[in-house]
Amino acid sequence: MLAVLLAAPLGAISLIPISAPSHEQVFEIPKGTWARHMAGEKIETLPDHIYLTVGVRDVLVLKNRDDVPQTFGPTLMMPGQNFSLPFEQAAEYQFACTAHASGQMTIVVDPYPATPWARISWRARQLLRTL
């Protein structure tokens, strides 16, 4: 009975295709970020590593909601401007990013998990990254 109960979710996470309600992974610079930065506050608006998956969540969306231009990720963005960058190739991308102390931002784009084992592995990675 226990084996059946364990096999059912394992089967589900290996067989059911990976999908997401939106392809977009959104990051935003909130209003007032520049003022807080000028007041000496250390603010991280983007993580050092961003994880995307081809065919699932493969569009990086950056939004500048602050009152001043910001170098956000790879580009200079005006106040109120959005930038949507699609990824079609699984790879690790390095972008210069002045928002980070290292001066670099890494975007890891995973391939679409097409096989049962890849789906288990993908779901496990997602779980670990959220912990």
Partner 1 sequence: MKILHSIATLLLTCMVTASVAAPGAFKSGVFDPPRQAPEFSLQGTDGQTLNLNRYHGKVVLLAFGYSSCTAVCPVTLHTFALAMRKLGPAAAAVQVVYVTVDPERDTPARLKQFLANFDPTFIGGTGTAQQLEQVRKDYGVNAKKIPYEKTYVYDHSSFTYLLDRSGRIRTLMPYGHNADDFVNDLNMLLRE
Q: Which residues bind partner 1 (CB under 8 A)?
A: 5, 8-9, 12-13, 16-23, 55-56, 58-60, 71, 74-78, 80-86, 88, 93, 95-96, 98
A 10 A CB-CB count for 65 gives 15
Nearest C-alpha neighbor of 74 from the set 54, 40, 46: 46
Which residue's CB is nearer to partner 1, number 89 or number 128? Answer: 89
Q: Determine the residue type at 51.
A: Y
Nearest C-alpha neighbor of 25 from the set 57, 73, 64, 67: 57
Which residue's CB is nearer to partner 1, number 16 or number 35? Answer: 16
Which residue's CB is nearer to partner 1, number 39 or number 78? Answer: 78
Q: How far is the CB of 42 from partner 1 (least distance, A)?
A: 21
